[in-house]
Structure 1
């Protein structure tokens, strides 16, 4: 199943949702001032340090240990973003127990990937500059089905269901600084022991 892209382009996969103008310019710049004070660290995966830098709140995913663990609490200035995530998903704001702020300096993007299976809904909120979100899924003939959409500053998007589970996504490198906040819910792990 597909839903139409906002700009009349080829249809986007089911589970993608987009909300423009979820923040005012004043709210955006106030949050960016907070971001600029964070102790960002380069994102690391399998020994590789990416150009983008991150700071996480709430639950932090430890790639080596492959289990979520308690980290610092989500500060009050970021709580309105959990309400935005609630609006776009229909889930309670409290279910967004992990929040990651990402700084994209000029030249930084994200390569093709799918978020870890432990996560369910992925909400992104964009700051300062537009970016291109690309999606791809391998077709039965071993080619790629591709889609793309522009994500504007002060907007939010959701990856859920089919687009979250069956498609990879990436963000094209840019020549200006951009920030994003990613909010995630965790899948229910009923019957499993250990940390939730």
Structure 2
């Protein structure tokens, strides 16, 4: 694994706490992960009364948008154990992944501007199969500061600090089918199962 920051937008400063590693996994491991995701009982992503165009499967915990709280989910599968350990190593000795989200994106599917739920702390994302634009923005008076990563297949990003808490992020519509695995730690605050 080699950390490469050369793909960051050079014109604007990158969000504090954002890290990027190209070629975090090998092509062979990428294929194994894609095959694993394809065997999951993926379901359309639901948030309230709306249904996203991407399909997902959550492990450890899942966020229930109707109840506005975390719910227990199936344990993280064994076939993800090695990659979870590698992500924890990348993040540092205090990192403990407790939630994993596997996602399938069809052509033209993206994600709008948001921050992950406050129940989660550090966020890691592994891109598989095709590249995508991973965009950041934060309010700067009446305008926005913006930053973009060209997230290549097999790359990993980490969001902590300001990049996680202050900046919003989104994913532009993908031009080819894509998969991702998101890894999250939990906050050290109140019980994460308490309603938000």
TM-score by length of 2: 0.90
Q: Aligned partners of 1:153, 1:194: CA distance in 2, in Å?
A: 32
Q: Aligned partners of 1:88, 1:65: CA distance in 2, in Å?
A: 33
Deviates more, 1:48-57 or 1:81-90: 81-90
Q: Secondary structure at the match of 1:170?
A: strand
Residue 20 of structure 2 aligns with which residue?
18
Residue 114 of structure 2 aligns with which residue?
113
Residue 56 of structure 2 aligns with which residue?
54
CA-to-aligned-CA distance 1:107-141 (integer Å, 9 cap, x gap): 1111111111111100001100111100000112x
Structure 2 residue runs of 5 or longer lacking an equivalent are: none
Over the aligned positions, Cα root-mean-square deviation in angstroms equals 1.8
CA contact (8 A) 1:39 1:55 kept: yes
| Counterparts in 2 of 1:194 and 1:25: CA distance versus 1, 3 Å | closer
Please identify runs of 4+ aligned residues in structure 1 that moved more than 6 A.
none
TM-score by length of 1: 0.90
Residue 175 of structure 2 aligns with which residue?
175
Q: Aligned partners of 2:83, 2:153: CA distance in 1, in Å?
A: 14
1:194: how far off?
7.8
Q: Aligned partners of 1:15, 1:107: CA distance in 2, in Å?
A: 29
Equivalent pairs, count: 189
1:150: how far off?
0.5
